[in-house]
Amino acid sequence: MPEVVAIYPGSFDPLTNGHVDIIQRGSRLFDRIIVSVLVNLEKRPLFTVHERVDIARGVFKALSNVEVDTFDGLLVDYAGSRHAKVIVKGLRAVSDFEYEMQMALMNRRLNQDVETVFMMPAEPYTYVSSRLVKEVVALGGSVTGLVPATVEALLREKKLARETLRA
């Protein structure tokens, strides 16, 4: 039987425990899951691609079937190049559904051989997003338990660096 490879794509700016939860579930379901960090030159991310890759590699070092990679261009082309037949996406709430369905159907139109699989994170993470995590930390709040410890430490470092620059 050929192995089933899944791609879990995203910006991961930064990785949250919601992402971690989906990746762990995916690693139990598929032979291999490739966490694929989007290299998006248009957006101005808080974390560099290198930092985002390093964080994910650190978090998943004990899971031998989780790989971390980067991609740009069309997701389905990248999936093809990695021999992946599955795209895994997390669905937190109904509000995620419309955009995710558009993307899934567009990706299917672009490549019939790649199937999108939606997975629900554990309930405590249904409201967690990278955007909210950054906002809470920037405004002095705590995100303990919502992101991996390495992410929390880096968020604090970046906040301190910005405050020092402003002083």
Which among 125, 132, 127, 134 has a CA at the least distance from the CA of 152?
134
Buried b (16+ CB within 10 A) or exposed e, 107-129: beeebeebebeeeebeeebeebe
The pattern of x and - marking residues 31 through 70 that bind ligand PNS according to CB under 6 A reads: -------x--------------------------------
Of all residues in this chain, which one has the CB nearest to ligand PNS in the complex? 10
Q: Would you state the structure tokens that stand for residue 135, as one six-digit string?
A: 């906002």
Please indicate whether residue 43 is annotated as part of the active site: yes
CB 93 within 8 A of CB 124: no
Q: Which stretch binds ligand PNS (CB under 6 A): 5-13, 47-55, 59-67, 116-124?
A: 5-13
Among residues 107, 121, 143, 148, the one that binds ligand PNS under rule CB under 6 A: 107
The residue with tokens 């470092």 is: 157
Q: Which stretch binds ligand PNS (CB under 6 A): 4-12, 46-54, 56-64, 156-164?
A: 4-12
Catalytic residue selected from 27, 32, 36, 130? 130
Residues 6+ apart with CB under 8 A from 91: 97, 100, 118, 119, 120
Beta-strand pair 32-38/5-10: parallel
Please indicate whether residue 158 is annotated as part of the active site: no
Q: Which stretch binds ligand PNS (CB under 6 A): 100-108, 112-120, 143-151, 158-166?
A: 100-108
Catalytic residue ranges: 19, 43, 92, 130
Rule CB under 6 A: which residues touch ligand PNS? 9-11, 38, 74-75, 103, 106-107
